[in-house]
Amino acid sequence: MPVRSREEKKTRNENKNHNKHGCSIRLLSVLIEGVCDVRCEILLPGVGTPFRVTVGFSAHSFVRHSHAIFHEFPLESNARAGNEHTMSEQEQRSVRCLVAKVGLDGHDRGAHVIARAFRDAGFEVIYSGLHKAPEEIVQAAVQEDVDVLGISILSGAHNTLVPKIMDGLEEYDAKDDTLVLVGGVVPDEDKAALKDQGVAAVFGPGTSIEETIEFVRENAPER
């Protein structure tokens, strides 16, 4: 699948959809860990502030019923242009994050923990799955138009794999407006080189979830 440019992605999903009851729904995240947690934001007619819900499905049930669910509540774009009950731009646009596992590293518990914590903090979360090549991570980040790319790596190959991801983002003109974070076991002497490549922060073992979330909120690029 060809990767679309940033300009092309900015125009995606511009049309707002409503179901037959006048409700509109915006998908915030889908996190699959045996159970599918579908987190949505729902705007009811006559109510100015949307509310967020998390609906749990078994993986089998989600696959069977997802078409009916999203047919009843078609997805709405992040921008509610023309809606009389609008929030401020900052309130209605969630931070969009990709949590990525790159290379042969098969330890994904930390990635699942941070993905769920980001989701609970109100961020839109996409999880890449295990054993992704740098090129796959780059394409996912650009295709999904993410604000934040969190790379989880415990294999010790950060000095080889992370620069490839940074070079790929630069190739697609996405490096400057993507906040790139690295989490894992990274020696102190390697952190400066990663930051020279464009990594915003390196979070090692023992970093609190709250610290990571606060860093994202303070440093995620505004668009």
Report if residue 89 sits inside a domain: no
* Cα dihedral sign, 52-16-88-211: positive
Domain boundary residue, one of 24, 49, 82: 82
Is position 170 within any domain?
yes
- 156 with 199, same domain? yes
Per-chain mean pLDDT for the chain: 75
Same domain, 160 and 193: yes
124 and 22 in a common domain: no
What is the pLDDT at residue 3? 55
The pTM for the full model equals 0.62
Q: Which residues pair with 132 in a beta bridge?
A: 102
Does residue 215 fall inside a structural domain?
A: yes
Query: How far is residue 56's CA from residue 58's CA, in Å, rounded to a whole number?
Result: 7
Q: Is residue 4 a part of any domain in this protein?
A: no
User: Is residue 124, in this structure, part of any structural domain at all?
Assistant: yes
- Provide the domain count of the chain: 2
Q: Are residues 40 and 61 in the same domain?
A: yes
Per-residue pLDDT of 102-131, as tens digits, reads 998 888 888 999 999 999 999 999 999 999
Q: What gap in Å lies between CA 9 and CA 188, rounded to an integer?
A: 37
Domain endpoint, select from 56, 82, 108: 82
Q: Compute φ and ψ for 213, nearest 5 degrees.
A: -65, -45
Residue 128: its pLDDT value, please?
92
> Which domain range does residue 183 map to?
94-219
Do 208 and 108 fall within a single domain?
A: yes
CA distances from 211 to 31, 33, 206, 215 (A): 22, 24, 11, 6
What pLDDT score does 28 carry? Answer: 53
Mean pLDDT of the region 50-72: 50
Q: Tell me, what's the pLDDT at 107?
A: 86
pLDDT tens-place string over residues 78-91: 433 333 334 444 44
189 domain-assigned: yes
Predicted confidence at residue 106, as pLDDT, reads 85
